Amino acid sequence: MPKRTDIDSILIIGAGPIVIGQACEFDYSGAQACKALKQEGFRVILVNSNPATIMTDPEMADSVYIEPVNWRTIARIIEKERPAALLPTMGGQTALNTALDLAREGVLERFGVEMIGATKRSIDMAEDRELFRRAMTEIGLATPRARIAHSMEEALAVQAEIGYPTVIRPSFTLGGSGGGIAYNREEFETIVARGLDASPTNEVLLEESVLGWKEYEMEVVRDRNDNCIIVCSIENLDPMGVHTGDSITVAPAQTLTDKESQRLRDASIAVLRKIGVDTGGSNVQFAVNPDDGRVVVIEMNPRVSRSSALASKATGFPIAKIAAKLAVGYTLDELRNEITGGATPASFEPAIDYVVTKIPRFTFEKFPGSNTRLTTQMKSVGEAMAIGRTFQESVQKALRSLETGFDGFDEQLRQPLSEEAATQLAYELRWPGPTRLLYVADALRAGWSRAQVFEATGIDPWFLAQIEDLLREEGRLREEGFESLGAVRLRALKRKGFSDARIGALVDRDAAAVRGRRRKLGIHPVYKRVDTCAAEFATSTAYLYSTYEEECEADPTDRRKIVILGGGPNRIGQGIEFDYCCVHAALALREDGFETIMVNCNPETVSTDYDTSDRLYFEPLTFEDVMEIIEKEKPEGVIVQYGGQTPLKLSRAIAAAGGPIIGTTPDSIDVAEDRERFQKLVAQLKLKQPANATARNEEQAVQMAREVGFPLVVRPSYVLGGRAMEIVFNEDDLRQYITDAVKVSNSSPVLIDRFLDLAVEVDVDAIADGENVLIGGIMEHIEQAGVHSGDSSCSLPPNGLSAEVQEELRAQTRKLAKALNVVGLMNIQFAIQGGVIYILEVNPRASRTVPFVSKATGVPLAKIAARVMTGRSLLAQGHTEERIPAYYSVKESVFPFVKFPDADPILGPEMKSTGEVMGTGHSFGEAYAKAQAASGVVLPTRGLCFISVRDRDKPAAVELARMLIDRGFEIAATGGTAQVLLDSGIMCRRVNKVREGRPHVVDMIKNDEIALIVNTTEGKQAVRESRSIRREAVARRVTYYTTVAAGRATCDALDHLGDIAVNRLQDLHKELLA
Amino acid sequence: MTTPAVLALEDGTVFRGISVGARGNTTGEVVFNTAMTGYQEILTDPSYCRQIVTLTYPHVGNTGTTPEDLESSAIFAAGLVIRDLPVLHSNWRATESLGDFLIRSKVVAIAEIDTRMLTRRLRERGAQAGCIMTGENIDEADAIRAARKFPGLKGMDLAKVVSTRRNYQWNDGMIWRTDPRPPRPQNRLHVVAYDFGIKRNILRLLAEHGCRVTVVPAQTPSDQVLEMNPDGIFLSNGPGDPEPCDYAIRAIREYLQTDIPIFGICLGHQLLGLACGAKTLKMKFGHHGANHPVQELESGRVFISSQNHGFAVDESSLPGELRATHRSLFDGSLQGIAHTERPAFSFQGHPEASPGPHDMRPLFEHFIHLMINRLQSNSKARSSSKSQIAGT
């Protein structure tokens, strides 16, 4: 059946900001869907609040709306655009839920919009646990014993039937948010309460535990003709009990016989038919009892998912693109498999001849105090994928792809184990944390038997034996030493996936020594192609991975080519923004006629879509792996500026090895990052920096702190995302920090800066070509200095900076760009205190704000800068004028605090946000209101506002209280703040701090008496004391701000709630050109 | 420790690896199979007789072996070529490792070679004769010579080589059921199954569908079969070239004179084609995998099928009384035929799967329906003729 002609326009809903459980895989799927549908001639309308996505580029859809993803906003867009159909399956759970809301609210019916790709009925059946169970029973499939509960009483009754441990799953939440496993009544009540609250329908599923069972996922695609294919089977190395997003997963399934695989295949297809997924991709999860093969269905997602992104990358089969085409009427046999150049149809099942391993990346260090044990609620923030010809090669490549400092199975504990270490080891095995796999290796090294490790972890003995074998090799190597590394031996080790660095560590040499030996012996990897068909058909697609085999299929061309190094796994501080930049570099340089070569290992991204670049190397971003590619391809240039800190860290080594790095030189980058060199430069240019010093031990630090003066910002050198950065207000705090920080950063010096309190912070993005400097945009932060720039909200153009100050910022930017010989992108962070401009830092590379600025101004900064790097001047490109919009764009950050109930949700110099949203409006208030709505903050319009601020914020608090009262709020405050307010003639209720006796403020939050909270603190003591306020606010979903500035902006927003319009991005950009 | 092994191809390519099966030498036609699971089923499929099979998935042996997953009484493949035999197998049903199973079955196998390179070579140059040699001092030139001496499968009648020597009954169903519907009562329908190298899963499925199966040797003449009064005749899969199997072609022509339903799979399909006057041809490297899309021409529906054949019926040679029912979406080749006058049909791929997807199982249903229809119309005819007699 060919394409439908009865619909002409399609609305696609994106996933909104990056949050845990919903990351850039939905940019990948959404972007594929947009491209596919546009290609088919449909008018595509896209809504997504996340500006850092490729899908929200104005070229991706006919109409792009960077607007909040909620039904009310989308109803307005529908009213304006009148799409014929809505495709809700590309934007994760957010899009699915929003689509259900639109259906429920009658919007779709009112405007005659047809839901395609999924129906309300099928979404309901898949998502509603009870309906799903009943459906499974009807088709003869088992599910774990389970019942739904809507209250604690019901829950306790159900629990009594199914016993402990009990799995608690709230309905309709992202990444299992709010769920968990309870081993006793206390835990049970806590998790159920949290789950009931997290579920939009206030229901939780209580489930028989199948902990320790093997976990499998099947990626299924079905068309309207009932043709079904399994794109990929995925085996979770971590058995049931760990959320699949947090599990190490392997594709294809390793430990199933054909009979068992086919049984899961039949069941998966039966599930799709029953649920009624008529067109598109779905994911079905199973648990299999390792003792008798009993199979139970765990759940299914009637949409593309994180797993389908992984399956697409793992097989080369583009699920989202195909699913989009199926949704508009095609059948699988009518679509071609592009990776084989169309030689075969899309109606087949990929056969792969390699092993794929995905390992999640966690960021618990950002949330001190949070529970690091992995459960059914997802906690990871990113993932790395690796391809190898064997599991051993694949898993070792994945470990080094993670960039968490591992070169392979690095020892976590010193052998022989101390008693304490042995206890820790047993704990780490039984209660999985972020690095369990490495502890598994430690246990095997310490003499645990395979059976013991299996008993503790439930990891299939097949995987354990593979790891054991690697450890045998390690042991042998340690004994035989570096000199034993002849050609045969070294090649055998490389074939098992050992990195140069790991081999070096085992023989007390550095990676360079091993690399030298390897090169002398002529041992290099070959590159094999991912082709969906295990070489049965020829492929013209250069989707490559390295391995140590005989035949190399890389076949480099002799075209002019540029290698772009990607950002690796997402983490807090380095996420989708950098992938966006890499993709833009690839698109621009391809347009310019270069062959573009992408290197990355993050399966969630658009950059690792095999058709984003001419050639894709799915490889770890380590010096070893990258350099082999550079030597194979011999590119004209290598771009290291776009992938964040990951490639930047490699730049000096690549340059030293002869890699042709283009753009700003590694030396210039060093000037910007090296304190002393940079200080000299600033002095030379007669610019200002906050007073600062570098200390190498505690006493030195204290001494220097006295000279510089408190408060201070302290941090270890060379960091991204403000890791381990803190503001200290007194000497005690400083001493404590030094002890901790020196520990975390391995005796690297501690940097001390005067903290500019109550200063306004400003980001400037610019491009320089050696001659000219193009100012991309000036962004004024809404939160004052002290909150990490990645966490603060900002406004473009600035809302409160005078024209003179802005002009001065531009002038300083130009000066710095010239002095640093920047060629390409740069980002400068300024702080303005009392009219004086200070430079906080300069980053001669792509910054997190590049996509935001590009969306706000319509100037594709990353593309322009990529061209600059290849020698096309700004003048030649016609981009010399800064474009300053007449409308406002506000960026707001989104935080994962809900997932870390034990961590303090306070903002500071350490970055904690996972994603961002953007709001646009013709006033600052409107733009800010939209950004708040998009980030999920509900702005209260009346009620009681609780204000508790530190002393230096008190004057500002008075002003804020007045503004709030003017807008109909009542005010409550604790002692000091209340006194100041009352003294200023402001009516307010005085309430107890927690330590002042009950009822106190937390009681009031729990009783839903408080609508809005503004709470600022400083000093460790005060932060500790006020923590329960913020925690409870997160738990009860009370809108809260930890800066007065944000409170003020909120008042501004409240004035504009009535007149919010939806803006088509292309129209906004047109305004700029008019 | 490990014993070296080489695989030599007739084009002179030599792959060096290690021996992971029995020691010794073997020659055969080297083919590749892209199925990611089911190595035990593949090795014990008699259709692989005289073929050295390369599995493209790199880890082979992960789940060990179990008597339950045998497709015949022994390994028929002439040799096995893989990238890696894992250090440990793991599966709740496993009773023996693949390595031990190979050694016990005296089958030569080589691992640690670049199987993807080999596959690409076979894809480009077509299936080739090859030789695996194991041991410390292998003469590679000797291995190449041995490979070149292998006569090839064209014109080779292997069906009668692998076939059973005497008749036997089969009544066992599937090892576990995947169909939620209750099983059909057995023994209603009597099927005579020609064993040209039959896979057990065909027999299991026939039993599962309520058939009492008599398996007969490849060269059983038609009169002996007709004496058994079968409700249906099944033509099995098998190795080698269908053309020399004149005995089978003759018998099938006899059956086509009757109204007895006939169902052929793989070699059985080719034999049905030949019996009706179509031609068969040798393919470049054949179809061997579990992911092949096959389109049912009447409905347009696509099924993922298991495939294992090096010969095919040439669609352009189909006589008038045969119509094409299925085609491969990989290369457009003919995958199924049906007789226009008789209840006879056949399929080139493997609807019995094992290994592979179960999408084509409805063909067994179809066979059952043909048999039931015949019984019903015969009994109607009998009763109507009876009533005619009674009426006169």
Going by C-alpha positions, the residue among A532, A525, A578, A582 that lies closest to residue A554 is: A525
Report the chain B residue with the minimal C-alpha distance to residue A351. B34
* List of chain A residues whose C-beta atoms are within 8 Å of the C-beta of residue B295: 333
Checking DSSP bridges between strand A750-754 and strand B14-19, what pairing results, if any?
unpaired
**What tokens were used for B109?**
């196998």
The two three-digit tokens of residue A452, written as one number: 């013991």
More confident residue, A813 or A995: A813
B329 Rama class: left (phi>0) / alpha (psi -120 to 50) / beta: alpha
Report angle CA A723, A726, A731 to the nearest 5 degrees. Answer: 145
Amino acid at A594: F
Q: Does residue A200 surpass a pLDDT of 80?
A: no
Name every chain A residue with its beta carbon within 8 A of the beta carbon of B353: 262
Cβ contact, residue pair B90, A257, below 8 Å? no
Comparing alpha-carbon positions, the chain B residue that sits nearest to A261 is B37
Separation in Å, CA A526 to CA A230, A494, A629, A924:
29, 11, 10, 55
Contacts of A231 in chain B (CB under 8 A): none
A716-722: average pLDDT? 58
Q: What is the pLDDT of residue A197?
A: 82
Tens digits of per-residue pLDDT, A499-512? 999 999 999 999 99
Q: Which of B88, B92, B291 sits opposite A290 (nearest CB)?
A: B92
Query: Which of B49, B131, B266, B276 does the annotation list as catalytic?
Result: B266
Tens of pLDDT, residues A368-412: 888 999 988 899 999 999 999 999 999 999 999 999 999 999 999
β-bridge pairing B128-134 and B189-195: unpaired
**Contact call for residues A1031 and A905 (beta carbons, < 8 A):** yes
Model pLDDT, residue A695: 84
Q: What is the mean pLDDT of residues B105-129?
A: 97
On average, the pLDDT of chain A sits at: 93
Q: Residue A983: helix, strand or coil by DSSP?
A: helix
Please tell me whether the overall predicted TM-score, pTM, comes out greater than 0.90 for this model. yes
CA gap A891, A910 in Å, rounded: 18
What residues have CB less than 8 Å from B238, skipping those under 6 apart? Answer: B46, B47, B158, B159, B162, B163, B195, B196, B197, B198, B218, B266, B267, B268
- Does residue B352 have an active-site annotation? yes
B36 touches chain A (CB under 8 A): yes
Size of interface A-B (CB pairs under 8 A): 178
Residue B187: its pLDDT value, please? Answer: 63
The whole-number pLDDT of residue A746 equals 46
Is B34 in Cβ contact with A536 (below 8 Å)?
Answer: yes
Provide, rounded to the nearest whole percent, the portion of chain A with pLDDT above 90: 79
Residues of chain A positioned with their CB less than 8 A from the CB of B303: 227
Instruction: Give φ, ψ of A321 to 5 degrees.
Output: -60, -45
pLDDT in tens, A8-62: 999 999 999 999 999 999 999 999 999 999 999 999 999 999 999 999 999 999 9
* Buried-exposed string A303-324: b where 16+ CB fall within 10 A, e elsewhere: bbbbbbbbbbbbbbbbbbbbbb
pLDDT tens figures, A853-870: 999 999 999 999 999 999
User: What is the ipTM, given to two decimal places?
Assistant: 0.96
Amino acid A744: pLDDT: 43
Name the residue facing A344 among B40, B89, B330 (closest C-beta).
Answer: B330
Rounded to the nearest angstrom, the gap between the alpha carbon of residue A899 and the centroid of all alpha carbons in its chain is 14
Model confidence at B185: pLDDT above 80? no
Q: Which helix (H) or strand (E) covers residue A975, if one does? A: helix A975-983
Q: Is the dihedral of CA A514, A519, A521, A525 positive or negative?
A: positive
**Cis upstream peptide for A525 (omega within 30°):** no
> Could you please report the per-residue DSSP string of A8-67?
-EEEEE---S-BTTB-THHHHHHHHHHHHHHHTT-EEEEE-S-TT-STTSTTTSSEEE--
Give the type of residue at A665.
T
Contact B293 A345 (CB under 8 A): yes
Rounded-to-integer distance, Cα A211 and Cα A181, Å: 9
In angstroms, rounded to a whole number, what is the distance separating the alpha carbons of residues A791 and A574?
12
Kindly report the nearest CA distance between residue B13 and chain A, in angstroms. Answer: 12
CB B110 within 8 A of CB B7: yes
The CA-atom distances, in angstroms, between A1031 and each of A367, A623, A901, A929 are: 13, 42, 7, 24
Phi-psi label, residue A481: left if phi above 0, alpha if psi -120 to 50, beta otherwise: left
Of the partner residues A259, A460, A550, the one whose CB lies closest to the CB of residue B117: A550
pLDDT at residue B183, as a whole number: 65
**Contacts with A, B 334-363, CB within 8 Å:** 353-358
- Of all residues in chain A, the one with the smallest CA distance to B181 is A140
Of B36, B92, B117, the CB nearest to A252: B36
Asked if the Cβ–Cβ distance from A351 to B36 is below 8 Å, we say yes
Q: Which residue has the tokens 């992995």?
A: A374
Which amino acid is located at A870 in the chain?
T
- E strands present in A453-573: 526-529, 542-547, 561-565
Mutate to test the interface with A, among B85, B299, B302 (most CBs of A within 10 A): B302
Contact A749, A717 (CB under 8 A): yes
Q: Is B177 on the interface with A (CB under 8 A)?
A: no
Catalytic (active site) residue B269: no
Sequence-ordered list of residues with C-beta below 8 angstroms from that of A469, at least 6 positions apart, any chain: A392, A496, B87
A347·B301 Cβ contact <8 A: no
**Least CB-CB distance to B119: which of A263, A291, A534?**
A534
pLDDT at A943 over 60: yes
What count of other Cβ atoms lies within 10 Å of the Cβ of residue A833?
Answer: 16
Predicted pLDDT of residue A726: 83
Task: List CB contacts (< 8 A) between B332 and chain A.
Answer: none
How large a percentage of chain B has pLDDT more than 70?
Answer: 95
Find the mean pLDDT for residues B112-120: 98
Phi, psi of B5 (to 5 degrees): -150, 155
| pLDDT tens column, B90-103 | 999 999 999 999 99
Q: Is B38 on the interface with A (CB under 8 A)?
A: yes
H or E segment and range at residue A1025: helix A1020-1036
User: Alpha-carbon distance B238 to B55, whole Å?
Assistant: 20
A793-821 tens-digit pLDDT:
999 999 999 999 999 999 999 999 999 99
pLDDT of residue A693: 87
Question: Exactly one of B209, B287, B339, B350 is catalytic; which is it?
Answer: B350
Which pLDDT does position A727 carry in this prediction? Answer: 86
Are residues A229 and B92, on separate chains, in Cβ contact within 8 Å? no
Cβ-nearest to B57 among A353, A465, A538: A353
DSSP state of A418: P
The two structure tokens encoding residue A191: 């998790």
Q: Which residues contact A658 (CB under 8 A, 6 or more apart)?
A: none
Range from A155-169, A546-560, A834-848 carrying the lowest mean pLDDT: A155-169
Q: Which of residues 109-128 of B touch A (CB under 8 A)?
A: 113-117, 119-120, 123
Residue type, B215: V
> Which residue from A262, A345, A535 is facing B56, i.e. has the nearest CB?
A535
Q: Do A354 and B58 touch (CB under 8 A)?
A: yes
Is there a contact between A462 and B88 if contact means CB atoms under 8 Å apart?
yes
Residue A983 and residue A1003 in contact, taking contact as beta carbons nearer than 8 Å: no
Q: Which of A256, A347, A469 sits opposite B63 (nearest CB)?
A: A256
DSSP-derived secondary structure letter, A414 = P
pLDDT over threshold 80, residue A927: yes
Catalytic site includes residue B245: no
A931: which residues sit within 8 A by CB, 6+ positions away? A793, A890, A891, A892, A917, A918, A919
Which of B71, B208, B243, B352 is labelled catalytic?
B352
Q: Which residues of A touch B66 (CB under 8 A)?
A: 257
Nearest CB neighbour to A255, from listed B35, B63, B289: B63
Q: Does the CB of B175 have a partner CB in chain A at under 8 Å?
A: yes
Residues of A in contact with B290 (CB under 8 A): 258, 349, 351
Distance, CA of A574 to CA of A570 (rounded, Å): 6
State the average pLDDT for chain B.
94
What DSSP designation does A940 have?
A: P
Of A471, A424, A480, A412, the closest CA to residue A447 belongs to A471
pLDDT tens per residue, range A746-786: 456 788 899 998 899 999 999 999 999 999 999 999 998 88
Task: Give the whole-angstrom CA distance, residue B334 versus residue B322.
Answer: 12
pLDDT number for residue B389: 52
Give the span between the Cα atoms of A831 and A763, in whole angstroms. 9
Burial pattern A870-895, b for ≥16 Cβ within 10 A else e, equals: bebebeebebeeebebebbbbbbbbb
* Residue numbers in B near A352 (CB within 8 A): 36, 57
Q: Report helix angle A450-457 to A419-430, nearest 10.
A: 60
A91-100, A698-707, B290-299, range with the lowest pLDDT: A698-707
For range A83-90, the mean pLDDT: 97
Find the range with the poorest average confidence among B60-74, B173-187, B338-352. B173-187
Helix, strand, or coil here: A494?
A: helix
Task: Give the minimum alpha-carbon distance from B32 to chain A in angstroms, rounded to a whole number.
Answer: 9
Average the pLDDT over A163-176 and give the result.
Answer: 78
Chain B residue closest in CA terms to A256: B63
Which of B37, B82, B83 should be substituted to probe chain A, the one whose Cβ sees the most A Cβ atoms within 10 Å?
B37
Radius of gyration of chain B (CA): 22
By C-alpha distance, the chain B residue nearest A539 is B120
Question: What are the tens digits of pLDDT across the range A576-614?
Answer: 999 999 999 999 999 999 999 999 999 999 999 999 999
Nearest CA in chain B to A348: B293
- In this predicted model, what pLDDT tens digit does every residue of B371-391 receive, in sequence order? 999 999 988 887 776 555 544
Q: Locate the chain A residue with the closest alpha carbon to B93.
A: A292
Paired tokens of A406: 């591992």
- Is B106 part of the contact surface with chain A (CB cutoff 8 Å)? no
Under 8 Å between Cβ of A407 and A421: no
CB < 8 Å to A329, chain B = none
pLDDT at residue A742 is higher than 60 = no
The radius of gyration computed from the CA coordinates of chain A, to the nearest angstrom, equals 28
* A550 to B114: CB separation less than 8 angstroms, yes or no: yes
Q: Do B355 and A262 touch (CB under 8 A)?
A: yes
Verify whether the Cβ–Cβ distance B62 to A389 is below 8 Å.
no
Q: Where are the alpha helices (DSSP H) in A745-873?
A: 803-819, 850-857, 861-869
Separation in Å, CA of B276 to nearest CA in chain A: 31
